[in-house]
Every structure is written in structure tokens, then in C-alpha cells.
Amino acid sequence: MLSRSDEKKLEKLNAFEISNKMLGLAQKNEKGNIFLNAGRGNPNWINTKARFAFGRILEFGIQESQRTMNDGDMAGYTELAGVRERFEAFLDPDTNETDRFLETVLAYVKDDLGLNQDEVVKEFIDGVIGNNYPAPSRVLKNSEIIINQYLQSTLYNGIDLASDTLVFPTEGGTAAIVYIFHSLKENKLIRPKDKIAINTPIFTPYLEIPELNDYDMIEVNLTSKEADNWQISPEEIDKLNDPSIKAFFLVNPSNPGSKALDQKALDEIQKVIEKNPDLMIITDDVYGTFVDGFQTVYSVAPHNTLLVYSYSKLYGATGWRLGVIAANKENIFDKLIQKLSEKDKKELEKRYSLVALEPEKIAFIDRIVADSRSVGLHHTAGLSTPQQIMAVLFSLTHLITKENGDAYIHASKELVNKRYQDLHKALKIEEDNSKENAKYYSIIDIYALAEHLYGNDFRIYLENNFEEVDFLLHLAEKNGVVLIDGVGFGTSSGDLRVSEANLPTEDYRLIGKQILQLLKEYFHKYVESLNNVDHGGSHLE
């Protein structure tokens, strides 16, 4: 077992690396319990409709390629003329459910979006085959329109922004985060020692990246507290009125708090923009679809906000790496670039002159695209076309069902809700059934639970005699359960994050029972210490 000094060293790693260290302990746990890893947010369900459709489009695309060249395993290229008719002839909607979906897609893109069906089918088949570089580099033409409709339907809460929004599909939400930080720096919108505000607790990279030598930012925390139901209080939002704060980063719904901003917070952010119109906002809304009536900050402050979204959690697609950056056509990022000094603008014009005759006119989101390939490789930039089409198909599974209610999204919400309820019932702690709670994660305050079960003196004993990771280590080593330390996300000491996404539903009651069982063992050690002059070490034997 690790010594207390070793535990202190372990705490210097980020939350996910600590969790990885515990996997081996949990798999060989002392009690021979079933291994339960509720540390990662990877969902254990997938959307089948879009994946079946991808397969059918790929099959048709190969047949189309064989029309122009067919020599063993070598096929040719696809042709636009008549491709929609040939696709409809290929489909068998009377007997094949996937083909019925694709037939509905053809009607939707024509009747609802006004798109050319031949061009859409051609984009689909070339996209899934992956026979060309992404063109345009930022996003395929029709794909952008469809993704925009999806974002508007799921995240904007009735606000019409689709036609005013530009999107850049990326290799998951993580790539979007990296690209945004990089381009903000390259375009001199953030500089070393600048202040940026971060709503904490938050997904760990938002805390860690700004501290790297690459950026060396000064972080101002807008802290959400459990006492406030993990909402940002108006007093915290008031910090954004400071004009020296260049940017505000948040995850909404939060990770690990799993809470969406309520209307009060959204209203306060709108007021901030009126007072601090140059504030840049970056909102990561990956969990938004798990909240009924969700509304993104982008929809209330569109000209100041970059939106990051990922399909990974809702559609079980973490391996696909499907994210997107969205920006309004009129935005503060472009305006701030125009306000830079002549010296800075000249440097940027030189940087982007490799990819444009009038580099000063390149929109910030297109600069992100160029920067993602170090500018010089801009001609090969862009998310791979199979990934783009997969994101489009996920989007379409929602768009063609939204009028009558998306049964898949409803089922996903119900699944995490059931797991959330089972965990809380097993722990005998109060549930939060507010409409803002995505329930994708739970934060369990071990100290508060200890006090509730065994009294304040026992809580003090735990806080004073054990490192933060000690309970997590023993939970893994003795009981086979892996959770994540909330401190790495910016929570208080003693908070543990449980993912309601990645284990069979029946396991969440077991996790609750294992937590209570281990806490009882700590209590027995506490009782022994009261009867022992030498209180012994700080480890649970």
C-alpha cells in the first residue's frame, strides 16, 4: 500500500491519470469483487440507426465507384449526374428499416432544407468512401447546413441562429479545445499573464492548459458551489464585468457538477456583455442534450461566444472523435483582431498570407482551421470526410424525428436518470431532480456522507488523518470500484465524481453499497483509535 508521502505525490497528477493508476488495483481487489470502473465518461450505449445508415451509404458508394472503373479490388470515381435516382433504386424501404430512414432523409433535405438531393447524395458517398480531401477545408457544404440545424434544434432553445452560424467539425471536443486555445494565442487575443475566467468545477484540461508555459494565463475562478446547487451565483458572474478579463471558459452542463445554467445565470451573462462587450466566451455544451429545454450561452450571447459540441456522449461515439466549433458570422473575435496594433496585424497578415490573397479578411474560425494544420498544411486541413458524414447522420436521426419527439434522446436521458436514482438510493442521499440536472455525473461528498452517517467528529478524523486520494485508493484496492477525485476538477476536498454513463445499470446500486461499506471500515478504525493512545498511521489496514 502507498505511504502517505506517496499519496501526496500521486495527487500531483491530473484526475484522469490518478484514475488510471487505480485500474490495476481494482481489477485485483482484495475482496474479489466485480471490477466497477465508473471513472470515465464514455457511454456504454450506441446509436444504431446512424451507423446502419453509414454502412448502407458506404455499400452504395462502392457500387457507384465500380460504375466508372472495376478491375478486381480497384474501383473508380463517383459521378453526380443521376446519383439520387440510382440511390433511390438501390434502397429497399419496404423491407429495410435503414433504407426507410435514408428515404426520409432524402425528403427532409429537399423539403425542409431546400438542398439539391443529387449534391447531398454525392457528398454522402464521397464522404464515407473518403476518396477526396475535405473540400472546403472547414466543412463540407451540405454537412454544415445539416449540422447547424442539429445544433439549433438541440442547444438553442428556440433561438434562430442556424443561418448566421459557421461550423468547423473537429476530432472530438478535445481537439476543439486545443485548437481554440492555440488560435486565441496565435491571433494575440490572449497573451501571457492575461486574465481568463473559468467556471469551476470544470473538465480538467480547462484548468491545466492555461497554466502551461505555452499560455501562462492568470486564472480567475467563478466558483459554483454545492450549496448553490452547482449554479454560478450572480456575485460570481459579476467578476466578468472586470474589463481586464479577456475570456470566460465554461462547460454547460458542468463537468463534474452535471448542472446546466439556469435562466438567472443566462440573464446575468447577458447583462455582463452589455457592460463588457469585448468579453470572449467559450462554452463546451457536450452534455446539453441530456437536459430538457437546454439553452446554450451561445444563444443568449451569440456575438461573443464560441460553442464547442461533441457527439460522443449522446451517440456513444467517443472512438469516432466527432466534435464541432461553432461561431457567429458577426463576432467579437473578428472585431478584436481588427483592433490589434498595426504591428500585430502585419504579423498576422504575414502568417496567413500563405493561404489567402487578403489574409486580413480571414474570419477567426477559418484561422482556427488554418492553425490546426500549422497554416502551411491548410490545403489538407479539415476533419476526415467519413467523420463528417457520421456526424451528419447522427444529426439527421434527430432532425427527422424532432417534431414527434426524439425517442433515442429520450431513452438516453431515461437511462442515466435510472442509474442516478439507483446510486443515490443506495447511498441514502437526497436526489436532485431539478430540470437543470443532466444526471450524467454525480458528485459524492465523502466527508458530508461520513458526517451524516457517523457524526462530525468522524468527519474531522477523516479530513485530518488521510490524504484526499486515500479513500479512492482503498475503494479500488479493497472493493474494486474506480471513481475520480473531484479536486482535479476544482471541487472541494472529499468530492468524488461518479459517471452514470459507462456501467450496466444494475451496478450503480453496488457502487453505492461499496462506498458505504468502505466508509464503515474507516469508522471502525476511528473507533479503535479512540481506544488507543498511539493513534497509529494514517492508512486503513
Q: How far, in Å, CA of 169 to CA of 383, rounded?
A: 6
- Cβ-contact 109, 144 below 8 angstroms: no
> What does the pLDDT average to over 289-306?
97
pLDDT of residue 212: 67
Residue 76: the pLDDT is 97
Q: What is the CA radius of gyration of the chain?
A: 26
Q: Say whether pLDDT at 240 is over 50.
A: yes
Is the whole model's pTM more than 0.85, yes or no?
yes
Q: What is the C-alpha to C-alpha distance for residues 58 and 51, in angstroms, rounded to an integer?
A: 11
Go through the domains of the chain in sequence order and give each one's CATH number: 4-41+407-530 (3.90.1150.10), 48-132 (1.10.20.110), 141-383 (3.40.640.10)
- pLDDT digits 0-9 by tens, 321-334: 999 999 999 999 99
Tell me how far apart the alpha carbons of residues 279 and 304 are, in angstroms, rounded to a whole number: 7
The band of 487, judged by pLDDT with boundaries at 50, 70 and 90, is: confident
What are the angstrom distances between the C-alpha of 475 and each of 164, 446, 467? 50, 12, 14
**Whether residue 538 has pLDDT greater than 50:** no
Structure confidence by residue, pLDDT tens digits, 203-236 = 777 777 777 678 888 889 998 888 888 899 999 9
Chain centroid to Cα 283, Å, comes to 10
Q: Report residue 41's pLDDT band, with 50, 70 and 90 as the boundaries.
A: confident
What residue spans of 209-296 are helical by DSSP H? 234-237, 263-275
Least confident of 12-26, 127-141, 370-384, 396-410: 12-26
- SS3 at position 433: coil
Per-residue pLDDT at 237 exceeds 50? yes
> Three-class SS of residue 435?
coil
User: How far apart, in whole angstroms, are the C-alpha atoms of residue 98 and residue 466?
Assistant: 55
- Sequence-distant (6+) residues with CB within 8 A of 182 are 371, 372
Does 539 have pLDDT greater than 70? no
Q: What is the pLDDT of the chain when averaged over all its residues? A: 91
C-alpha cell at 485: 477525485
pLDDT at 2 over 60: no
CA 265, CA 250: separation in Å to the nearest integer?
12
Q: Say which range, 441-445, 475-479, 522-526, has the weakest mean pLDDT.
A: 475-479
Q: What is the pLDDT of residue 23?
A: 61
Cα–Cα dist 397/391, whole Å: 10
Q: Of 32-36, 132-136, 337-341, 486-490, which gets the smallest average pLDDT?
A: 32-36
**Cβ atoms of 296 and 272 closer than 8 Å:** no
Calculate the CA dihedral of residues 443, 445, 450, 456 and round it to 10 degrees: -150
Arithmetic mean of pLDDT, 105-110: 98
CA dist., res. 271 & res. 387, Å (int) = 38
| Amino acid (1-letter code) at residue 147 | I
**Residue 284 scores a pLDDT above 50:** yes
- The confidence score (pLDDT) of residue 28 equals 72
H-run or E-run covering 354: none
Strand locations in 403-494 (E): 441-445, 481-482, 484-485
Q: What is the pLDDT of residue 536?
A: 45
User: pLDDT above 90 covers what percent of the chain?
Assistant: 75
* DSSP-derived pairing of the beta strands 70-71 and 481-482: unpaired
Give the Cα-Cα-Cα angle 164, 363, 370 (nearest 5 degrees): 125
77, 132 contact by CB (below 8 A):
no
pLDDT band at 3 (very low <50, low <70, confident <90, very high): low
HEC string of 504-532 equals: CCCHHHHHHHHHHHHHHHHHHHHHHHHCC
pLDDT digits (tens, 9 = 90+) for 178-192: 999 999 999 999 999
Instruction: Compute the distance between CA of residue 473 and CA of residue 483 in angstroms, rounded to an integer.
Output: 9
Q: What is the percent of the chain where pLDDT is above 70?
A: 91
Q: What is the mean pLDDT of residues 506-524?
A: 93
Give the pLDDT score at 230. 87
* Helix, strand and coil percent figures for the chain, each rounded to 5: 50, 10, 35
Bridge partners (DSSP) listed for residue 195:
218, 245
Task: For residue range 162-176, list pLDDT tens digits in order.
Answer: 999 999 999 999 999
pLDDT tens per residue, range 87-98: 999 999 999 999
